Amino acid sequence: MVPLPEPSGALQKPRWFSRAGQMMSTVLDFIYPPLHPCPGCGLPDVYQKPETIGLCDACYAAFPWTEPHQLPPKVWIPAHYETSARKLVTRLKYHDAQYLVPLMAVAMAAQIRERLEDAAAMEGVSIENWVILPVPLHRQRQRKRGYNQSDLLARHLAFVLEFSYESAGLKRCRPTAPLYRLSRAERQQALAGSMVLNPEAIPKLRGKQLLLVDDIYTTGATINACEQALQAANPISVTVAAFALADLDSHRV
C-alpha cells in the first residue's frame, strides 16, 4: 500500500517521536524475538535473539570470536570470517537479509564498548566526541544491490552506542573490480584515490574521533583509502569497526 501524503501544513513529528518508535521496536524484538531459519545452518524457526546473533545454540556455541591480539591496532572486529559468521555476512550482503543488521550490530557494539573502556583506562582515550561513518559503495553498485550493508551496520551502531552519525562523509568516486578476486597489491592499486571527502562533512568531522564501519576487514586497503581521504578533515583519530576479519584465501572462496 502506498502511504498517504501528509496534509499540507501538517505538524512535523518531533525527532524524539521517531527515536521513541525505534526504541519501542527494539524493545519488542528483545521481548518477542522474531523467528527465522538459523543463518549458520538453516535450522528452521530459530528465535532471532541479539545475545545469540540470531543463531541456533549449536552455531552460537561454535561461533568464531576473535581475540584482541589477533587484530591490527585500532581495528575492532568481533568475528573471524568463517563458519556461521561468514554466512551472516553473505546473507546480509548478497541475499537482502537486512533483519540481521541489528543482531550483527549488537555483537559489534559489545566489543566496541569493551575496547573503549580498555582504551579509556589504559591510554586516557575519551569515550565521547565520536562520530560513526560507513565505508561507501560506488553509486552503481549500491543501485544494483539496493543498499549499502556497511551503512546499515553503521546506522544501527550509532543508535545503539548513541554516537553521532555522518552518512555522507565519504564518497567512492569511481567503481572498482570485486576486491575478493584481487591480491593485496592489486587491492591497494585498485583503491588508491578511490575515496573522496565530502567538503560539507568536514566541520562535522574536524577534531572528532572517527569510527569507520565496514562489514569485512581483509587487507586494510579499503580502510587505507578512506583514511587518506579523511585526513583533510583533521580528525583526532580514525578507528575501524567491522563484523568479520578475513584473510585473502578465505575471502576469495
What is the β-pairing status of strands 237-245 and 75-76? parallel
The set of cell numbers assigned to 131 is 562520530
In the chain the beta strands, taken as DSSP E runs, fall at 35-36, 46-47, 75-76, 79-80, 130-134, 164-165, 170-172, 195-197, 209-217, 237-245
The set of cell numbers assigned to 194 is 578511490
Query: Residue 146 in 3-state DSSP?
Result: coil
User: Among 141, 142, 167, which Cα is nearest to 155's?
Assistant: 167
Q: Which long-range contacts (CB under 8 A, 24 or more apart) does 220-224 make?
A: 220/72, 220/75, 221/179, 221/184, 221/187, 221/188, 221/190, 221/191, 222/135, 222/179, 222/187, 222/191, 223/75, 223/135, 224/188, 224/191
pLDDT tens string for the chain (253 positions)? 434 344 344 344 344 334 444 544 555 455 556 889 999 999 999 988 888 999 999 999 999 999 988 998 899 999 999 999 999 999 999 999 999 999 999 999 999 999 888 877 666 666 779 999 999 999 999 999 999 999 999 999 999 999 999 999 999 998 777 777 777 888 888 788 889 999 999 999 999 999 999 999 999 999 999 999 999 999 999 999 999 999 866 554 4
Quick one: DSSP state of residue 166? -
Q: What pLDDT score does 183 carry?
A: 79
Distance separating alpha carbons of residues 131 and 234, to the nearest angstrom: 13
Neighbours of 89 (CB within 10 A): 23
Distance of CA 132 to the CA centre of its chain: 9
Helix and strand counts by DSSP (H, E) for the chain: 10, 10
Distance separating alpha carbons of residues 224 and 140, to the nearest angstrom: 22
Measured in residues, the chain has a length of 253
The domain locations on the chain are 64-252
In the chain, how long is the greatest CA-to-CA distance? 58
Which class would CATH give 64-252? alpha beta
Distance separating alpha carbons of residues 52 and 140, to the nearest angstrom: 34
Distance separating alpha carbons of residues 243 and 64, to the nearest angstrom: 11
pTM, 2 dp: 0.83
